[in-house]
Homo-oligomer: A and B are copies of this chain.
Amino acid sequence: MNIVFTFRPPRKLQEQLRERFPEEEFLYYKSIDEADKLHTAEVIVTFGGDLTAEHISACKELKWIMAASAGIENMPVEAIAERNILVTNARGIHKIPMAEFTMGYMLNHVKRFPELQELQSEGVWNKRLPLEELAGKQLLVIGTGAIGSEIARLALAFRMDTIGVNRSGSPNEQFDEVYTVDQLLDVLPLADFVVAVLPSTEETKFLLEKEHFQAMKKTAAFINIGRGDLVEESVLIEALDNEEIARAYLDVFIDEPLPADHPFWSQERLTVTPHISSITSKYVPRAMDIFSFNLDVYKRGEEGYKNKVDIDRGY
């Protein structure tokens, strides 16, 4: 069968796939636009964001889409559901890098590393910079899935208190307490750090509003590593301008790449990173591990896929 990649994995990973599946035809392209044999694909492996309904209808043989990403919000859901095409993703491989990234910025925040760097560049020895500790601070994680739980696990190691928020309020061992989304306004005032790690769905779109930021501590830091459309940009800018929170760390945005003239770049008390929290040198190897596992399952015609996506729920 033809397996079309709309990105090029490192040569070493290509060799591993060829050795493990010598009878399959792997076709690697730099992008979907260059994939001249896309229409022959029984399987498409993509980072997501490039597939349209036209692609789906042109690919008569297509049975399986492997998204080497977590969210599938840009996929042509109806066209996929209509043909009953299998969709799998790479969820689970994001938790380690994203949790490290989040803990990194939390430490950066309490330890004032950017200010220490500034002092160094000025040649100033100042022991009076008031550093804080994560120990004893309250972490609120909105979204208690694999990534949120990994963040909470590390936060507990740092002797933080952890509150989780999810749809149902169902408990989770990494969190001291879990509340429902409806209770968000009640628990936001407790948090020193509010970390959002939600997928983009109809329910989460613009979930955080003006009142939510007003409910947070003025000393709180807000970290969004989930999806940009959790909050209207104007709401966030207002919260920062009005000093309703101390700082925001945003890795995700409504428009990505963030346009060059966007006010976020120079917004005070805002750290912008280029949707990079999950991306490390281990990302593609781990995604290919999941793909290889599932390709075995697919070839044997069995069930038991890792990370099968419920296309209607959106994750």
Contacting pair A100 B104 (CB below 8 A): no
Kindly state whether residue A57 has any CB partner on chain B within 8 Å. no
Of the candidates B117, B265, B282, the one whose C-beta lies within 8 Å of that of A133 is B282
Which chain A residues numbered 159 to 210 have a C-beta less than 8 Å away from chain B? 159
Q: Is the CB of A117 within 8 A of B120?
A: no
**Would A126 and B274 be within 8 Å (CB), given that A100-B110, A107-B107, A280-B133 are in contact?**
yes
Our pick among B107, B116, B282 for the contact of A276 (Cβ within 8 Å) is: B116
Chain B residues with CB below 8 A from A120, complex form? 265, 271-273
Q: Provide the bound-state CA to CA distance between A285 and B111, in Å.
A: 19
Could you tell me which residues of chain A, from 4 to 50, have a CB within 8 Å of some CB in chain B?
none
Q: For A99, give the chain B residue with the smallest CB separation.
A: B158
B111 close to A113 (CB less than 8 A) = no
On whether the beta carbons of B274 and A127 are closer than 8 Å, the reply is yes
A145-158 vs B: 1/0 string, CB under 8 Å?
A: 00000000110011
Q: How far is the CB of A120 from chain B (nearest CB, A)?
A: 5
- A107–B117 CB distance below 8 A: no
In the complex, how many angstroms separate the beta carbon of A173 from the nearest chain B beta carbon?
Answer: 15
One complex includes copies of this chain to the number of 2
> Which residues of A in the span 263-279 have a Cβ within 8 Å of any Cβ on B?
265-266, 271-276, 279
Tally chain A residues at the interface, Cβ within 8 Å.
50
A102-153 interface (Cβ within 8 A of B): 103-105, 107-108, 110-111, 113-114, 116-117, 119-120, 123, 125-127, 129-136, 153
Q: Which residues of B contact A100 (CB under 8 A)?
A: 107, 110-111, 133-135, 158
Chain B residues within an 8 Å CB radius of A234: none
Is A96 engaged at the interface, CB distance under 8 Å to the other chain? yes
Q: What separation, in Å, do the CA atoms of A276 and B110 have in the docked complex?
A: 13
Complex Cα gap A125–B158 (Å): 32
Whether B158 and A117, one on each chain, are in contact in the complex, defined by CB atoms closer than 8 angstroms, is: no
A235 within 8 A of B: no
Whole-angstrom CA separation of A10 from B127 in the bound complex? 17
> Is A97 an interface residue when CB atoms closer than 8 A count as contact?
yes
Whole-angstrom distance between the alpha carbons of A126 and B260 in the complex?
12
- A105–B260 CA distance with the chains assembled, in angstroms: 30
Return chain B residues, CB-CB under 8 Å to A315: none
Give the 9 A-B CB pairs with smallest separation, nearest first.
Answer: A104-B107, A157-B157, A125-B257, A123-B265, A125-B274, A120-B272, A104-B111, A131-B280, A127-B274
* 7 new A-B contacts at CB < 8 Å, known A100-B158, A120-B271, A133-B282: A97-B131, A101-B111, A104-B104, A104-B108, A125-B257, A129-B276, A131-B279
